[in-house]
Amino acid sequence: MKMSGLLLLLIAAMPAAYANDFPTTDRVEYVLECTKDNGGKHEYLYKCSCVIDHIAKALPYDEYVELSTALRNQGLGGERGAEFRDPDLVKQMVKKYKTIRSDAKQACFVK
């Protein structure tokens, strides 16, 4: 009787536990890029995993995609890049993502 109640509780909690879960491939890509940016040292495999976990707790996946895309494309030149450089909304998005990422890096001891 108690076991079925526990099982029911676990099933009910599952959607909340995975609400902000990121696809594994996106987590791996983040960790690989972060590790490379930090000299490829093995310790950064763990530290960068910690960073993306913190980001995932702070942002829903769809918002993460929007914010990280805005940051990534800010360096584009020409007219096409203007969409990511000039609008105030995009600047706010980039600022928000940088703040969240910076806080996550600090919490996970990443430079």
Residues 56-105 pLDDT 10s: 999 999 999 999 999 998 888 888 788 878 889 999 999 999 999 999 99
Residue 9 belongs to a domain: no
pTM of the model: 0.78
pLDDT for the residue numbered 86: 82
Weakest-pLDDT range from 30-34, 41-45, 75-79, 104-108: 75-79
Total count of domains within the chain = 1
Q: Which residues of 70-102 are buried (b: 16+ CB within 10 A; e: fewer)?
A: bbeeeeeeeeeeeebeeeeebeebbebbeebbe
How many angstroms separate the CA atoms of 62 and 45, rounded?
24
Residue 42 belongs to a domain: yes
Residue 39 belongs to a domain: yes
Residue 14 belongs to a domain: no
Residues 86-95 pLDDT 10s: 889 999 999 9
- Compute the chain's Rg from CA coordinates: 18
Structural domain range at position 45:
22-107
